Amino acid sequence: MADNVLQRYLAAGETLISNVLLHHYKELGLTTSQLVLYLQFKSYQDQGMVNPDIRQIAKNLGTSEVQVFDQLHQLITGGLAEQKMQRQADGKEEAVYDFSPLLDRVALLVDQQTSVAAAASGANERMQTFNQLEAEFGRPLSSMEMQIVNDWLDKDNYSTTMIKLALRQAVLNSALNLNYMERILQSWDRQGLRTKHDIEEHERQFEERRDSGQSKRQSGQPKPRGPQIPIYKLGE
């Protein structure tokens, strides 16, 4: 008995709904009744019934056909659905309800949410960069210095990663000022170095060349002549 119930349950299929639509349908202009009506249509259309029986949908909802048609009319006038003529397998054309406008609005909402999240992330990274600069400088940035950093980000399109790496170079070379950092940033920009990996790889190669040059200069120097003087440890 239980197996038969489970089989009928599975055979009935499932209707998937985007969480964006489920959580934000009010923002999209849907009422709760319209959302449930859309799901009724979707449940049939997902099974290939592009034009489900309005009488059956009304029965499922426990309402009248007039109320279903009224809700559909509101969806159409609200720009969330439209009625189209669609050619059927037998060659005849039939009016069907298309909810593509609703799905387009869902996609637009996702895009807007992504843009807002990216803007918030960018603002947070900018603030972190200012805080890191002030921490290393040991003082608040002046309004002119803040404008310079903002120009790096907005006009020169230097990333916060590039600025932080330039700050690290300034700290290592005991040259904590924006002019020094700007020369570093301009040098990286001319060489097309914009990612952390590329910049660090460039700095690593530079250090290797410098160390190699020092080793060659030292190896080319003549060894001092004279007696070897033994070195004794104190206390021996």
The mean per-residue pLDDT over the stretch 92-98 comes to: 88
Residues of the chain with CATH 1.10.10.630: 117-208
What does DSSP assign to residue 218? H
Q: Is a pLDDT exceeding 50 seen at residue 140?
A: yes
The conformational region for residue 137 under phi > 0 = left, psi -120 to 50 = alpha, else beta, is alpha
Structure tokens at 67: 């109320």
pTM for the predicted model, two decimal places: 0.55
> What is the Cα–Cα distance from 40 to 54, expressed in whole angstroms?
10
Cβ neighbors of 231 (< 8 A, separation 6 or more) are none
Residues of the chain with CATH 1.10.10.10: 13-98
Q: Give per-residue pLDDT as tens, 217-234.
A: 666 555 555 444 343 333
Contact (Cβ atoms closer than 8 angstroms) between residue 75 and residue 55: no
From the options 3.40.50.10800, 3.40.50.2300, 1.10.10.10, 2.30.29.30, give the CATH code of 13-98.
1.10.10.10
Q: Which residues pair with 83 in a beta bridge?
A: 97
Q: Which pLDDT belongs to residue 54?
A: 94
Q: Is a pLDDT exceeding 80 seen at residue 146?
A: yes
Q: Give per-residue pLDDT as tens, 14-40.
A: 888 989 999 999 999 999 999 999 999
The superfamily in CATH containing domain 117-208 is: DnaD domain-like (1.10.10.630)
Tell which residue, 111, 115, 106, has the closest CA to residue 30: 106
Task: Count the residues in the chain.
Answer: 236
Among the ranges 6-15, 83-92, 173-182, which has the highest mean pLDDT value? 173-182
Structure tokens at 192: 């097309």
User: Residue 185: pLDDT band by 50, 70, 90 thresholds?
Assistant: very high
Contact (Cβ atoms closer than 8 angstroms) between residue 57 and residue 22: no
As a whole number of Å, the CA-based R_g of the chain is 35
> What is the Cα–Cα distance from 109 to 123, expressed in whole angstroms?
21
Q: Which pLDDT belongs to residue 220?
A: 57
